[in-house]
Amino acid sequence: MPYISLNPATNKVVKTYTSWDSHQLAAALEKTHSAQQAWAQTTFAERAECMNRAAALLHERVAEFAGLIALEMGKPLREARAEVEKCALVCDYYAVHAEHFLQTEAIQTDAGKSYVSYDPIGVVLGVMPWNFPFFQVIRFSAPALMAGNGCVMKHASNVPQCALALEQLFRDAQFPPHLFTTLMIEADDVAEAIASHHVHAVTLTGSETAGRKVAAIAGQHLKKCVLELGGSDAFMVLKDADLEYAATQAVKSRFLNCGQSCIAAKRMILVADIADAFVALLVEKTAKLEVGDPTSDATRIGPMARLDLRDELHRQVTDSIAQGAQAVLGCQLMPDADMGAYYPPSVLDRVTAKTRAYHEELFGPVAAVIRASNEEEAIRIANDTRFGLGSSVWSRDTEHAEKVAQQLHAGCSFINGMVKSDPRLPFGGIKASGFGRELSYHGIREFVNVKAVWIR
């Protein structure tokens, strides 16, 4: 089966690549393993030199990389450039902090000397998604490489040019040959890669279904695993919130990347006192979003990444309307729907537990509005989901909002700010949103051997 680079704005094939066979996969894994053995003996200063060069190249090639992102998955150029710049930020962050995060920790025991060291674990396999085709990769690889590990990556099949560009980036940054390798394999071949004795851990960012499969295979082979899966983040607006500001941030949080983000504000949970006023502002601001060619700087909403994803989103919307939800903006296929994977920015009001939009993740440009009679019910609704990635609370009383946030079952809670990842903070979820953490010192310590040393 070939890898197909298809422009979602035109639904036209740009380029195709031939998938690897088992022999090619085995050879690539062996080469990365060999490269990692030598890399593990380098100093943090030597690793940081390479990582700093990677950051510099990301800045230098931002237009080139952003163009690839726009071409292969439809992200508007302004957002694609921001994604590439954020990759450079992560590279710089770990170049500076990795040595401190992994420094040997002296422990007082009955020994003459005892300590904990954080040693490289080996080769880490990253199974990566298409929605942030550069950032998701850098998010796992920068800390893993700085820890002394090697990296192999199975990227999403619809972004092969991005995948190969990332491999070239690390090569041009003068990391050792084969230390970072893009595996041009099919999804069915991931199990073979995990099983290889040259692979020591696996991290996946993707769907809940894919996460369950990878976790099962990793468990079968006793390989360390980190999963960042889907989310249906609550955006909870309390009665004393600054509605103008909250609605502005709601639109940004919901429709960034055409709504194709795990930490997008997917469920707008509104207390009854302000529900009508907030929905009016939400609809007004959403209607102003410019839909169009992702290569135009005027575009705020590009196409979704694939036609099948657009069509599945529309089925979720139409089913929810049939189940009692109200379409107050968009919620219909655009004219010439077969020409590109476009879907209009939409608002679905009166979503209840009887609708698909209440229970399922809407991975596209649709805001689901759920009305709560009071704050207590809003908290219950926020937690009434199998997901647990992000959450946000909006209120002028930040002390009270913090108490509300502490009751939310999620990997993070933001107060009066849209949920976003930051290299200084751990990132990950609970429940069906996965387990383990990326970023911060928590992330870099996921793929090391936490080794106790005791000396008489």
Closest of 233, 237, 234 to residue 397, by C-alpha:
237
Closest of 348, 52, 311, 106 to residue 357, by C-alpha:
348
Contact 353, 384 (CB under 8 A): yes
Closest of 66, 76, 133 to residue 303, by C-alpha:
76
The CA-based dihedral angle spanning residues 261, 262, 263, 266, taken in that order and rounded to the nearest 10 degrees:
80
Neighbours of 325 (CB within 10 A): 25
Q: How far apart are CA 230 and CA 241, in angstroms?
A: 27
> What token pair was written down for 351?
């979503």
Closest of 132, 116, 120, 148 to residue 48, by C-alpha:
148
Q: How far apart are CA 93 and CA 159, in angstroms?
A: 26
Phi, psi of 439, deg, nearest 5: 65, 170
> What token pair was written down for 332?
């219909």
* Catalytic (active site) residue 225: no
Torsional sign, CA 185, 187, 190, 191 = negative
Q: What share of the chain is helix, strand, coil (3-state, %, to 5)?
A: 45, 20, 35
> What token pair was written down for 360?
């399922």
Catalytic residue among 72, 167, 228, 360: 228
Q: How far apart are CA 301 and CA 68, in angstroms?
A: 17
* Catalytic (active site) residue 228: yes
Catalytic residue among 91, 262, 331, 412: 262
Q: Does residue 301 sit in helix, strand or coil?
A: strand
Catalytically active residues, by annotation: 228, 262
